[in-house]
Amino acid sequence: MSSYLLGIDIGTSSCKAAVFDRAGLVKASVSVKYPVIYQHHGWAEQDPEAWWQAVCQALKKLWDRGGVRPEEIACIGVDGQSWSAIPIDRDGRCLANTPIWMDFRSQDICDRINERVGKDRIFELAGNSLTPNYTTPKVIWYKENLPEVYAKTDKILQSNGFIVFRLTGEVSQDVCQGYGWHCFNMREGKWDPEMARELGIPEGFLPPIAACDQIVGRVTSAAAEATGLCVGTPVIAGGLDAATSTLGAGVIHPGETQEQGGQAGGMSICLDKYSADPRLILSFHVIPGMWLLQGGTVGGGSVLGWFEREFGDYERDHADETGLSSFDQLNRIAAKVPAASEGTIFLPYMSGERTPIWDPKAKGVFYGLNFATTKGHMARACMEGVAYALRHNIDVAESAGAHAEILRAVGGSANSPVWMQIKADVTQKPVVVPYSDTAATLGVVMLAGVACGMYASYDEAVALTVRETASYKPNPDNREIYDQAYQTYRDLYMDLKDLMSRG
């Protein structure tokens, strides 16, 4: 009997595959890593075939471990990172690595198109400003720099769309990931052929648009052989990882807000009306009839990951002795430092920055160091810098008319009580943590569950599967000191912006 749902998450650092029962409990899960390729300054790309190989490895490991059999999978959902531009030819071959969401190589292309077509006109249709992170300029970059790839391209796919294609042989573009294209009408959820022509995007490159919970194909015999899945298992279009994480956190009604603390950071506020702001990101939610007003920052959990990698030798060497991971030890020493880190402030712009400053030349900065500064100060400053970036996005969203009341935190940083209390104190918003490690895959299997009839509605899916594990209230005693530190954070970027732009 088909009683389980399979979710596949194509993240920035790894593929995660997880099997859930109807109650949202994980029956089995596997993660397989792959690299980000940094060929030049400002470039960040990945090999989509490495994603597919990771999916195949992860699924075979799932079946080898036992407990779940392929024939028990009722439906499959795939979510993935944003703003890919995967060129495939008519035979379905991947023609090149894709620049990913943190790639800034196409700034000159964006400048030219914004001048020629008009940045206000582009924003009016797409609900998003044309910047290098998005799919649109990456495709133009192929035309200008990889003409042999461009000439052979039949379709451009998103990350989840590529894996769906490998599973089913069907080309699709889910409506949620449409926001990567500036010939996508954000009000109506459809392509605009006239804008595609003006931007220089061949209409044939654009896959047919599907609802995120639409079954777009079934597992082929070739995919079954590669993955161990059963031939004919239905596969939905899926969607953006940040949006499925938002669903996995239980955010389905207007005003509810997800706080993202995975590799990247940010937030997603659920809206039932179109509301765009050029400083932020607007996409369709993965559930019908809703939008997400998003803040997307480069610095999230990756900031502490970088700090641990470069400065955590002592903690790694003493992990067995203390019984604590290096990250747990960094959390402990950060917790001993007072709020606002006694003047130590970190700008978390480690690969430029996205919302709300949209500055590819922004740099990471430690400010306020002195001879009394400890590793604990710097670790806490990293956490606080990410929290200041979150507050900056929330402030902009609220100035645009949206409102976030409670933050529902997901991602690896949600497992850190220290970091969650910092975010509550910096934003002065209560933070609730659902079971966070599987939010993206839980969200995409909710979509699959509705598609195959396992859930009657999204309200039912959330009620059955989303469980709160912790909550944090803002500490009023820390409000004033964090307000002051946040203002310094904002002033630092403005004071250093011109210096950063020199390269």
Indicate if the pLDDT at residue 414 is higher than 60: yes
Average of per-residue pLDDT across 275-293:
96
- Rounded to the nearest 10 degrees, how much is the dihedral formed by the CA atoms of 303, 308, 310, 315? 170
Average of per-residue pLDDT across 50-64:
98
Domain residue ranges of the chain, discontinuous segments joined by +: 1-82+159-172+211-249+436-472, 301-391+474-500
Collapsing DSSP to helix, strand or coil, 12 comes out as coil
Q: Which residues pair with 37 in a beta bridge?
A: 45
CATH class entry, domain 301-391+474-500: alpha beta
Q: How far is C-alpha 340 from the chain's CA centre?
A: 27
Q: How far apart are CA 127 and CA 111, in angstroms?
A: 18
CB 275 within 8 A of CB 208: no
Do 1-82+159-172+211-249+436-472 and 301-391+474-500 share a fold?
Answer: yes
Q: How far apart are CA 366 and CA 487, in angstroms?
A: 15
Average of per-residue pLDDT across 70-93:
98
Residue carrying structure tokens 């926001």: 179
Residue type present at position 182: H
Question: Sorting pLDDT into bands at 50, 70 and 90, what band is 1?
Answer: low
1-82+159-172+211-249+436-472 placed in CATH 2.30.40.10: no
CB 386 within 8 A of CB 413: yes
Indicate if the pLDDT at residue 212 is higher than 80: yes
Question: Sorting pLDDT into bands at 50, 70 and 90, what band is 230?
Answer: very high
pTM to 2 decimal places: 0.91
295-339 pLDDT, tens digit per residue, is: 999 989 999 999 999 999 999 999 999 999 999 999 999 999 999
DSSP string, 188-220: TTEE-HHHHHHHT--GGGSPPEE-TT-EEEE--
- The DSSP letter of residue 71 is G
Q: How far apart are CA 206 and CA 396, in angstroms?
A: 32
